[in-house]
Amino acid sequence: MTPIRLDKFISERTEYSRSQIKQLAVRKMITVDGQVIKSTDLKIDPETVKVTVSGKEIRAERYRYILLNKPSGYVCSTSEHDGETVMNLVPPEMRTKGMFPAGRLDKDSLGALLLTDDGELAHRMLSPRHHISKIYIVKLDRPFQNKYIDLFRNSLQLADGEVCMPACVRGCEISEKLAFVQLFEGKYHQIKRMFSAVGNHVEVLMRVSLGSLILPEKLGFGECMELLHKDVENLFVAPDFDDFCRRFFGVFSANLINK
């Protein structure tokens, strides 16, 4: 990697401004390879040195990818005007200036949400051309019916006439009111509107997979984890839905059964 000024390197990867970085250096909070740094205009090669700010390592990668297990009650927005946002759940040392939620879950929805400052990746994810797979588990008001499988597969029409792309749905043996759904698009309130179109109602909705990413069991509601670039490289590869259901019904149904 070409050498880069230390203050530029830190400011591109954190929320700190250049003047705040100067202050941090005065307060001896910045180290390069274990040495406290006083001057922030020195040039470093991020691939060969270890930089820390307030004891936390700043990684060399230009973009950050955070997987959040969204709890209910937070909006997918960066603007406080919209209410309490998912950004408030990201620890300050993981946040960067340009970070935003790459996709939307409703305020009352739960589960996997990617936050990133990689605008190009987010754009590809959100573009209707790319059809990224999203798998959800839902708790229904009334028992799941097998007729939903064909209805969802065959371009279901919503109440307002809008037609959905073919989607997959399976009931769950553990509870007649739980189901998994796989979508390849993201219309407004889509799953709630799809179940409403077949005469049911979604009580709880949780996204458990986004592209090739599967929400880790250990990640509790409201918790975040940092992903590596290689973790998001295969984002556009869709998991096999039947295989996913077989492997994960047990794991994820436990999250919704008592909600």
**Min separation Cβ 160 and ligand URA, Å:** 14
Kindly state the DSSP code that residue 27 receives in the 8-state scheme. T
3-state SS of 90-159 is CCHHHCCCCCEECCCCCCCCEEEEEEECCHHHHHHHHCCCCCCCEEEEEEECCCCCCHHHHHHHCCCECC
Q: What is the CA radius of gyration of the chain?
A: 21
Considering beta carbons, is residue 111 or 239 the nearer one to ligand URA?
111
**What are the distances in angstroms from CA 130 to CA 19, 50, 122, 228?**
40, 37, 11, 21
Distance, first Cα to last Cα, the chain: 49
Residues assigned a catalytic role: 106
**Min separation Cβ 179 and ligand URA, Å:** 13
**Min separation Cβ 259 and ligand URA, Å:** 15
How far is residue 112's CA from residue 109's CA, in Å, rounded to a whole number?
A: 10
How far is residue 85's CA from residue 75's CA, in Å, rounded to a whole number?
A: 5
Considering beta carbons, is residue 10 or 114 the nearer one to ligand URA?
114
**Min separation Cβ 94 and ligand URA, Å:** 23
Cβ atoms 48, 60 nearer than 8 A: no
The sign of the torsion formed by the CA atoms of 77, 78, 82, 84 equals positive
3-state secondary structure of 182: strand
**Min separation Cβ 70 and ligand URA, Å:** 9
Considering beta carbons, is residue 21 or 167 the nearer one to ligand URA?
167
Considering beta carbons, is residue 205 or 224 the nearer one to ligand URA?
205
> Helices 18-26 & 6-13, crossing angle to 10 degrees?
110
Considering beta carbons, is residue 29 or 219 the nearer one to ligand URA?
219
**Min separation Cβ 219 and ligand URA, Å:** 18
Residues that bind ligand URA (CB under 6 A): 105-106, 109, 189-192, 205
Considering beta carbons, is residue 16 or 244 the nearer one to ligand URA?
244
Pairing of strands 110-116, 202-210: parallel
